[in-house]
Structure 1
Amino acid sequence: MTTATCSSSSSTLPTTLLRGGGGSTTGRRLLSSAAGVLSPGGHRGGGGRATITGRGDTQLSSTAAVAPPEVHPDGVTIIKPDRDTRHYRYLVLPNGLEVVLVSDPYTEQAAASMFIRAGHMQDPPELAGMAHFHEHMLFLGTERYPEEGEFENFLTQHGGSSNAYTATESTNYYFDVKSSHLRGATDRFAQFFRTPLFAESAIEREMQAVDSEHSNNKNEDTWRIYQVLKATANPSHAFSKFGSGNYETLRPRPEEGVDTRASLIDFHETYYSADAMKLSILGNEDLDTLEAWVRDAFSGVRNTKPPAVPDYGPYPAFGAAELGRRVTVIPLKETRQLALSWPLPPYQGVTRALLRNLYSQGYEGEGGLHKLLHGRGWVSSLSAGSMVTGTDFQLFRLSLSLTEEGERHTDEIIELCHRFIALLRSEPPQKRIRDDLAAMTEIGFRFLENGGPSRAVQSIATTLGQEDVVPAEVLSGAFTVLEWDPAALTDVVNRLTPKNCQILVVSKKDEEEADKDGSAAIGWRKERWYGTSYKVEALSEELLRRLEGVPPHVEGFPEAFRLPGANPFIPTEFSLRADDAGEPAAAAQEGTATAGDADADAEAVRRLLPASIPALALETVPKEDWSRLVPPSLVAEGVGGEGGRGGAVNLWHKMDRSYRVPKSSIAAKLWTPEPYASPMAAMQARMFVRLLKEDLKSWAYDADLAGLRYSLEMTTRGLQLSVGGYSSTVALLLSKILGHIGDLLAEYRELGELMESGRGGGGGGAGVGVGGHAEGQGLAGLTARQELLRQRYETSRESFLRYYRNSAQDQPYETADYYVRQVMEAEVWHIDEYRQALEDRDACTPADMARHFDKILGRMRVDVMAHGNVGRKEAEDLASAIADALSRTEPLPEAELPTRNALRLQAAGEGEGGGGNGVVVVELEADEAEKNSAVQVYLQAGPGESNLDLASALELINTLGYTSAFQQLRTREQLGYMVYTHLERGPSGKVTPPASWDGAGAAGGGEEMHPGGPLAWSVVVQSPDKTPAELEERVEAWIAGFRDELAALSDEVFQSTVASMSSSVLRRERSMREEASIFFGAIASRTGDFYRRYRKAESYRRLTKQAVLDAYDQFYAPGAPARRKLSVRVASQRHARDAEEKAAAAAAEGGWGHRGGREAGGSGGPVVLRSLEDIRAFKARTPIYE
């Protein structure tokens, strides 16, 4: 169930910060060759409009494959994919506001997004953070709807949510809502931009909210490093501004002539002009209806004609004074990063797309920079792309995550990066790479499936807001590659010089030097807003000359660098298996309907459905779509490997006839208890999976570029593998993954034997470089490949160890959530136990990892689902490939499948012992710099999913409670930025064999057949000002008062909320991938409940207001006999000292005080758990949930 989120999200960070990645690929010219039509609406003009509703067959062109559009000589023709059933219309209102309407007759959820061409780079110099603050204020009342929170309440009652974000040069507001309430939501949304109140009563509180948000961000390295980047930019350029703001920067200062409210109004009138806005709205109404609503709601937005293009003056964001520099940053967490950044003109189109392709495919494949550096054990990841894009510049960044060994070779890595760039300069641009990229973008657009409404409108509005994007391309722009332009590429590469580069090094190596007295004298500075230590040093002339003169050749690596080769994974065959299935009866065998007589086909499909299918499923899904209701069928049990050995694989299959795209997927859950048998077992299993994925990188990126994806994850119950993409290449990808599991395990097995025998030395060597680049203490007798594997093992161990050590810097609310699970899950290991296992160098070795993974593969039970454009014989072949890879695996008996269990807390009315008065976990925040404290109040309720009516009542309480808690605890009481509620399901200890399934649930139907774990309601608050105990008091006060809100609900609001919840779970799947996820979820969870959402919707429809109040009174009301409470308090060290003082004062007066209560084994008062030992002792005497 979607609920209203916080009224405004945040200011944003570049998505490629440090990690790099792709920049925007919008900004192409009109795709005239795609549709064969050059629309006169290719430019933007007032009052014009165009509609596209046509569909048809498409052939690949030199740009993108699209459905032939209807041509409208009076407007714009929007290009859309082959299979897109939505209809689009572009129009410009008389006030200049540009709009794209989307009519989707199948959608149950509507959405809208407004893009504003103004961000924090437009902040007035005296009020840093104004754009972000203004974003917050728009949610706090308008002339037509003056009540704060009215918009969120409306959305919550109608199954919706809202949010917003502020970027450098833009702001985006968006919402979604049940389709039947789109008009009401649209009218409320429009008032944001017409008549916001900017009420004096809200300004002070919301400045505090922005300050709380900044307080949360201060301990996040990503924000800290980004602000250092701004601090090292040209101070005369707007990019250098402090974008998120805080109370200090936003408060009124009459002595300086700063009036915050007047500035808010001025900012709104200046930048929130209709011709600087781009709106997209999606609903299930026809286009004419949507247009009428938009004209009525948004025509009143004023056009104040702001500057069309921001003027940042004559100074570049990064000029000569800021470049040719090395910036060293001290992080809070144990992080090692290297980034090389070059400011470039704001290139668009083929130039940016090809650069991203080169700086990704070339790096991870053979002959690439990533291959070389990873092979030396110096980097764990490498990426590149446009980190920041603006009107007058973009920042192109090459980002590397360094290992501990790599940190010692930072200068050599910098030189190797410039050597690779020298390769790009030394060879002419490769048209072949452009053609590969063009082929895949064409295929990707042709078979693109519809995304969710909220994501769709955000993408359209944002794309429409790009100055060089014509309206025709709001869908196709990201999938378009322009004509070949080698001169433009050459110009870009020639700008990637050492003098034009800023080098960023993030490391704790110099932390002691930066913190000591007198550090400023040797160049260390403190960034103003976050307090980050950093140093800026000019690159020496000698170093610049050396880097500028490096050749694209590395001694010892005559073939080290080369450009990417042809991509073998690009699909060439796109036939649909459903077209070959034959008559309806044959199709029924495949589990779907066929074309032909609709009623006959529907009846053929109906016979495939289980007798216990919920009636609501047949009522709400049209007959012609009943094939979507047919679950995967169990076509084979106990599939064995080559020669029939093993017999551990069960196969489910469903061939698609609904989405008709040439894509398929195969997903496998490999059940085994071994990965979670001990902390060491868990770490060795996770490390092998990570090492396997790293070893697959040399070709996996090619697969990704060709539209294939794979996931391989170790869980507490085994291994989960999935492969999906274009049908013609799925089997190839699966076979490579399966083959590599055995090959890599054999290599590590041999390496372990060598190291244990002494022929390869012992563990813990400092590392040997490949190709003659020996460093430190080498290991004798290992081949280059074996030494590479040994280094990778050490790098993986170090990476996990660093991750667990960094957990000490988690935000308090994250720590609270972690400790809820530590207490409530019966079988769970602790971070400290993982860390201790990793630090045991004698036990944590490649040999032990190989032995443990052999044990994992020794006994398994495997559930496999083949779904999509795949016939039964193909599905059986895929399952056989998995069985062959497990040919030595013994079947794990069903009775031995691993389970997970939840503790059953004692209820308040169940007497002494076991925590009946509540359990409090007190954990000091390890980081002295952390100023925030947090509390999570966790109320365990009834028997969870086995009682859907109770679950529905609890879900409604959470849906309404989320918004109520936010408004009371954050907006009114200003406790902190982080306030939310959520309903969670505890683990269930039951699994059932598939032979007992009938498609409607593990036990074959009925209301008591779903073995879900217990439900629990959590309320989370984080604050810089209150102790955890004080926060808990406010949470309890809100919970007590929330009962009155529930009782006061009108019948209209209650029924509307219930209807929205029902509509949400009945939402039609938007893609084949989404359908596969739903079906495999029922298989992987061993519930067999393919129709759970329909039974949930039936339960919602039975729900009464009295049932909701009864559930509240039974489980949540303070003092209720059935109340089961766990409270996790996480204190900053400052707040912990305050609490100790208060507790001492209370004890002196004979009371319990804030930290009172009994110890883990005491009696009277709440149980207080202050250590992992306390938690384990408590769990040992607490029953699990049956």
Structure 2
Amino acid sequence: MFMGTKKYPAENEFSQFLTQNGGSHNAYTANDHTNFYFSVKTKSLKLSLDMFAQFFLEPLFTTSATEREINAVNSEHENGVADDNRRLKQLRKNTADPNHPFNHFGAGTKETLWDIPNSKNISVRKQLLEFHSKWYSSHLMYLTVLGKEDLNTLEEMVVSLFGDIEKKNVNIPYWPDPIYKEEQLATKTVVVPVKDIRVLSISFLVPEQTKFFKSMPNRYLSALFGHEGNSGILTVLKKRGWSSKLSAGNKFEARGIELFDIDVDLTEQGVDCVDDIIKLIFQYVNMLKREGPQKWFHDENKNISAMQFQFKDKESPLEYVVRLSSRLIKYGLKDVLTAEYIIKEWRPDLIENLLSYFRPENMRVTVVSKVFQNKTDTVDKYYGTSYSISKIPMEVLNHWQEGDLCNDLKMPFINEFIATDFGLVPINTNEPDQPYVIHESFILRSWFKTDTEFRVPKAFVSVDFFNHNVITDPFHCNIMSLFVRLINDNISEYTWDATRAGLHLSIEPSSNGFKILLNGFSHKLHILLKKTIEKLLAFKIDPLRFDILKEEKIRDLKNIAIVQPHNIALIHETVILSETAWTPEELLSSIYDVNVVNIEEFMKQFFSHMFMESLIYGNIDKIKAIELIQIVEKPFLGRDGSRKLLPRQMIRSRQVQLDDGESTLYETTNNYHSSSCVTFNLQCGVQSTLNNMIVNLFNQIVMESCFHTLRTKEQLGYIVFSLVIERQGVLSFQIIVQSERSPMYVDTRIESYIDGVQ
């Protein structure tokens, strides 16, 4: 589509125009629609819309461009062959009713899109033109335009440019027949993954819920099944040592096709207890049926959604129009802005009806684990996934169907983090333009600024805990990483409620310690911060959770070797250019000796010999900021053995400087992907306002020509892009190409491109 039209025949004319005018473009294909989108600077909107409209009027689909794009599709497929998510997504299609359109290949290869059609004397270009002629009809198309012009001007612009798109004699497709029939339901599929992952997925076939957007029964049940609070499914699974993560929610596949999925990450013990986990889930279903729909919980969901809509953060204009255009397919014009936020009706009957589909005979079970290696009987022809499907025995289904309860499973408690005060703090007339230091001691420096721009009742707090000893040894890095996993695991029971209420907390490891990040509604932010600091200092490690999370960390380190080559290349580049950093292999070799005692002793020393730096920004005045500072600082003052860090101990890790004319080559092998990757890095000096502007402007200028030359014309691979990286205060310009071609050849083509840039 983007490769030329009758009015604008040059292949890259549209993309080149957008790049020259500060814009970009892309597209995605879902099961039941395709979305094309672009952004551009304001004064170029009309001309870019004219170019855009031509794709739906008179695209060329030239033979040469068609074949090259099929090569790109094939490259994309090859890049995803080892992706477990793609493999599982295709299995969901493969195992559907063979006579349903859902049962088909969800991507494409050169064989399926070019070789096979040509062997049957089918013209691919002709097929594309016929598809476009049939389905690209005005009444099936939904356009969203966001501009600075008034509505009348925008409407006139759109009508004049898109008004000639023909209305064809076709109806919008709808698939009311179930994708799974009796023979595909009540089945258990076991799958061998590429990565060392363990997942239990339970899918219930449910009616499409779009028409119930005014009451959202699916959101009511998603919030309950996914609840991580004290009496939820996940908490019980953790206590039994079967899982660490759970997610639940409806999965819209296409118009008329919807599922409700419950996905459980399994521990080693959990793989052996899959039937017990499913039994526990049905005991939760029994509890919900016994309790009946609860209006107070519905009202809580309703208030949270309304609050989030009223104080919705500004977002990228491009992302906004992409979402709106796809929503227009589902909702009428008067509801499209609010349909996925505002809950207007209390319909307990719809909740009960949706819950009635949560039955053993109406579900499919998928278990993913390496333990099934050499125990399967089928191989997917597109991705090579090994799997087996079997009917679940009737006695097992009957056992799950029993109406018994688990005493540990109950409805959630009332959410204490929901904000009720949305007032804005007054702005000081002398408020500085930049954050400034309002507190400094030997243990904490705090930066502060009241928001004067966005004026919403939200705030952001960041606290960086720093100790120079962490980065010096991969053993210490593993201790810190495991501590962060353990504390996040421990506090999830209350942070889940905070997240639902629009108050987000994350604790993340860093090269020199860890960071606490809070953002969201400011009213009860201090409560969440206080709880977190108290938990941090009173935390006691549960040996069972330690064993489970350590095993997860080991698997994560091993799985790094299987990620896409361009991701691995960036990891190695970071290690090479950092003054101190450790490879995944070095971290893996040193993690096995980490134990509970190591962590407790190291963290005791860490908290007695550290420095904190914080930033407080948003709907907070200076008095409230001082209160937050005291919440952070006071518990750490006067700790036994507490010592001040010396100035030399405060130096952060730096980047290795490449001398002028220096050229360095680093090579490593990849055993899991057919493609390789070349990262071409030009170090551009220390960050400054001027340097940042120059390097980013250079990238903006060459971005389109880099993509067009190396991907579209030279067909080096699907993943081709340029970018600017800002790391450790240093700027770098990079070109990344993941390709089936020889890395040395790819490098020469990148060098040739750089030499030709003018």
Q: TM-score, normalised by structure 1?
A: 0.62
Q: Shift in Å at residue 292 of structure 1?
A: 2.0
2:61 to 195, 198, 206: 198
* Map of 1:792 onto structure 2: 545
Which of 496, 503, 520 is residue 708 of structure 1 equivalent to? 503
Residue 273 of structure 2 corresponds to which residue in structure 1? Answer: 409
Aligned to 2:614: 864
Cα 1:1023–1:826 change in 2 (3 A) is same
Aligned counterparts of 2:226 and 2:686: Cα–Cα separation in 1: 46
1:315 positional shift: 4.4
Identical aligned pairs, as a percentage? 30
SS of structure 1 residue aligned to 2:667: strand
What is residue 463 of structure 1 aligned with on the other side? 327
Query: Aligned partners of 1:429, 1:230: CA distance in 2, in Å?
Result: 33
Residues 639-685 of structure 1 show CA distances to partners (whole Å, capped at 9, x for unaligned) of: xxxxxxxx422233222344332222322223321322211111111
The 8 Å contact of residues 717 and 898 in structure 1, kept in 2 or not, is answered as no
Task: Check whether the contact 1:236–1:315 (CA below 8 A) recurs between aligned residues.
Answer: no
Aligned to 2:422: 574
After superposition, the Cα gap between the structure-2 partners of 1:940 and 1:634, relative to the gap in structure 1 and judged at 3 Å, is closer
In structure 1, the residue matched to 2:11 is 148
2:145 equivalent to 1:275: no
1:974 aligns with 2:715: yes
1:484 is matched with 346
| 1:287 aligned partner | 151
* SS across alignment from 1:566: coil
1:386 to 250, 255, 266: 250
2:680 matches 1:937: yes
Match of 1:503 in 2: 365
Q: What are structure 2's unaligned runs of at least 5 residues?
A: none
Report the equivalent of 1:341.
203
Matches within 5 A, 1:820-835: 820-835=573-588
How far does residue 906 in structure 1 lie from its aligned partner after superposition?
4.3
Letter in 1 for 2:537: G
From 32, 53, 56, the counterpart of 1:169? 32
SS at match of 1:239: coil
Note the alpha carbon deviations across 1:276-299, whole angstroms, 9 max, x for none. Answer: 111111112222222222122211
Q: Tell me if structure 2 keeps the 8 A contact 1:664–1:868.
A: yes
CA distance in 2 between partners of 1:832 and 1:254 (Å): 47
The structure-2 alpha-carbon separation of the partners of 1:366 and 1:826, relative to structure 1 and needing over 3 Å to count, comes to: same
Distance 1:171 1:708, change over 3 A: same
SS at structure 2 position matched to 1:194: coil
In structure 2, the CA distance between the partners of 1:1037 and 1:264, relative to structure 1 (3 Å rule), is same
Distance 2:181 2:295 in 1: 32
CA distance in structure 2 between the partners assigned to 1:869 and 1:711 by the alignment: 20
Could you report, residue by residue, the CA deviation over 1:1090-1116 in whole angstroms, capped at 9, with x for unpaired residues? xxxxxxxxxxxxxxxxxxxxxxxxxxx
Deviation of 1:953 (Å): 4.1
d(CA) in 1 for partners of 2:720, 2:52: 23
Q: Which moved more, 1:656-665 or 1:697-706?
A: 656-665
- Find the residue that maps to 1:922 and give its secondary structure: coil
**Pick from 603, 610, 631: which aligns with 2:434?**
631
Q: Deviations over 1:831-881 (max 9, x none)?
A: 1111112223xxx11110011112221222222222222221111011001
Distance in 1 (alpha carbons) for counterparts of 2:403 and 2:668: 53
Q: 1:983 deviation in Å?
A: 2.6
Amino acid at match of 1:247: K
Any idea what SS the aligned residue of 2:470 has?
A: helix
1:457 is paired with a residue of what secondary structure? helix
Amino acid at match of 1:709: H
Q: Partners of 2:252 and 2:306 in 1: how far apart?
A: 27
Answer yes or no: is the 8 Å Cα contact 1:651–1:876 preserved in 2: no
In 2, the alpha carbon distance for the partners of 1:951 and 1:549 equals: 64
1:1002 aligns to what? Answer: none
Q: Is the 8 A contact 1:676 1:682 kept in 2?
A: yes
1:849 maps onto 2:587 in alignment: no
Alpha-carbon separation, structure 2, partners of 1:265 and 1:708: 50
1:995 alignment partner in structure 2:
none
Q: Deviations over 1:892-911 (max 9, x none)?
A: 34442132222233444xxx
* Structure 1: runs of 5+ lacking an equivalent: 1-137, 515-523, 554-558, 582-586, 592-607, 609-629, 639-646, 749-788, 909-915, 988-1011, 1047-1186
Q: State how many pairs are aligned.
A: 750
Report the CA distance shift for 1:305/1:954 in structure 2 as closer, same or farther (over 3 A).
Answer: same
* Aligned pairs for 1:394-793 within 5 A: 394-466=258-330, 469-514=331-376, 524-553=377-406, 559-578=407-426, 587-588=428-429, 591=431, 608=432, 630-638=433-441, 647-744=442-539, 747-748=540-541, 789-793=542-546
Verify the 8 A CA contact 2:472 2:580 in the aligned structure 1. Answer: no
CA offsets, 1:415-440, max 9 Å, x none? 21222122222321111110111111
How far apart, CA to CA, are the structure 1 residues paired with 2:516 and 2:664?
38
Match of 1:878 in 2: 628
| Contact 2:187 2:392 (8 Å CA) reproduced | yes
CA distance in 2, matches of 1:457, 1:881: 42
Aligned residue number for residue 87 of structure 1: none
CA–CA distance in 1 between the matches of 2:405 and 2:112? 49
Preserved CA contact (<8 Å) 2:225 2:232: no
Offset at residue 550 of structure 1 (A):
4.9
Q: For 1:20-51, what per-residue CA distance to the aligned partner results, in whole angstroms no more than 9, with x for missing partners?
A: xxxxxxxxxxxxxxxxxxxxxxxxxxxxxxxx
Secondary structure class of the residue paired with 2:195: coil
Residue 247 of structure 2 contacts residue 263 of structure 2 at CA under 8 Å; is this kept in 1? yes
In the other structure, the counterpart of 2:705 is 964
Q: Which amino acid aligns with 1:441?
A: S
Q: How many angstroms does 1:354 deviate by?
A: 0.8
Tell me the secondary structure at the aligned position of residue 900 of structure 1. coil
* Counterpart contact for 1:674–1:855, Cα < 8 Å: no
> Which of 562, 567, 590 does residue 837 from structure 1 map onto?
590
Distance, in Å, in 2 between the alignment partners of 1:572 and 1:797 is 40
Letter in 2 for 1:384: A
Other-structure match for 1:105? none
The 1:482–1:309 alpha-carbon spacing in structure 2 relative to 1, beyond 3 Å, is: farther
Displacement, 1:255?
A: 5.2
Matched, 1:158 2:11: no
Kept after mapping to 1: 8 A contact 2:208/2:255: yes
- The 1:588–1:413 alpha-carbon spacing in structure 2 relative to 1, beyond 3 Å, is same
Are the structure 2 counterparts of residues 847 and 877 from structure 1 closer, same or farther at C-alpha, using a change threshold of 3 Å? same
CA contact (8 A) 1:672 1:717 kept: yes
CA separation in 1, counterparts of 2:513 and 2:92? 42
3-state SS, counterpart of residue 279 of structure 1: coil
> Matches of 1:448 and 1:230 in 2, distance apart?
36
SS of the residue 1:353 aligns to: helix
Secondary structure at the counterpart of residue 340 of structure 2: helix
What is the Cα deviation at residue 825 of structure 1? Answer: 1.4
**Residues 822, 727 of structure 1: alpha-carbon distance in 2 compared, 3 angstrom cutoff:** closer
CA distance in 1, matches of 2:178, 2:196: 33
Matched to 1:380, the amino acid is S
Q: Counterpart amino acid of 2:234?
A: H
* Mapped pair 1:1036 → 2:751: yes
User: Bigger radius of gyration, 1 or 2?
Assistant: 1
Q: Deviations over 1:1049-1076 (max 9, x none)?
A: xxxxxxxxxxxxxxxxxxxxxxxxxxxx
Matched letter for residue 183 of structure 1: K
2:222 aligns to what? 356
TM-score, normalised via structure 2 length: 0.96
CA-atom RMSD, angstroms? 1.8
Query: What amino acid does structure 2 have at the position aligned with 1:352?
Result: N
Matched letter for residue 178 of structure 1:
K
Contact 1:353-1:481 at 8 Å conserved across structures: no
Q: Is the 8 A contact 1:210 1:246 kept in 2?
A: yes
Aligned-partner residue type, residue 545 of structure 1: N
Give the partner amino acid of 1:984. Answer: I
The equivalent of 1:243 in structure 2 is 106
Per-residue CA deviation, residues 174-204 of structure 1 (Å, 9 max, x unaligned), is 1112222222222211111111111112111
Separation of aligned partners in 1, 2:722 and 2:264: 37
**Aligned partner letter, 2:342:** T
